[in-house]
Structure 1
Amino acid sequence: MIASPYQFLEKQRQACSSDTDPEEDMNEADQEEKQRLIKQIMELQHTLEDLSARVDVVKEENLKLRSENQILGQYIENMMANSSVFQSTSPRSVEPRRQTVHYGSRGT
């Protein structure tokens, strides 16, 4: 539907007489969006800093645990070497037993 000249002029008059300038409204909207994005970026930066600090703590803990595991492994090896329970009683080395697999009928 085509607007009558009267309707067109009325809309123009209302636009001119309004208290806010459309350009100001746009600038305010842009400023609000900019502030929202800045806030979001700052939150993400803080999250990244927190995660980075956590990674550093976990790396340090990992190194400590690896060192402890290595020390415990050496301790266990030394204990086994000094214990008669883990030493062979015969001069020859013990070979693992081979399991024989039988195919076919079962003991009937």
Structure 2
Amino acid sequence: AVEAENQVELEENTQLINQVLELQHTLEVDAVKEEHLKLQSENQVLGQYIENLMSASGVFQMTQKAKAIR
């Protein structure tokens, strides 16, 4: 009887440990997804900023005109 109780308790503990591990994995995946979205947004802002700088700079406009002439 004691061995059966120990076996049941061991199985319950194993199940709980597996649930905890699964939740940890889910949290890690969610954190990575959130970080990816943040970085993607920052990249879009930086890309727009670079485009604005290039369009405002005479050097890049001259380069583009020179390419158009060729």
Could you say which TM-score interval applies, normalised by the shorter chain?
0.7 to 0.9
SS across alignment from 1:56: helix
Pairing 1:37–2:7 present: no
The structure 1 residue matched to 2:50, chosen from 62, 76, 79, is 76
Q: Highest relative contact order (Cα 8 Å, sep 6+), 1 or 2? A: 2
**Shift of the alpha carbon at 1:84?**
1.6
| Aligned counterpart, 1:55 | 29
Q: Which structure has the bigger radius of gyration?
A: 1
TM-align CA RMSD: 2.0
| Aligned counterpart, 1:93 | 68
CA–CA distance in 2 between the matches of 1:68 and 1:49?
Answer: 29
TM-score scaled to structure 2, two decimals? 0.77
Structure 2 gaps of 5+ residues are none
Structure 1 gaps of 5+ residues are 1-26, 96-108
**Shift of the alpha carbon at 1:30?**
2.6
> How many residues in Structure 1 have an aligned counterpart in Structure 2?
68
Aligned sequence identity (%): 38
SS across alignment from 1:93: helix
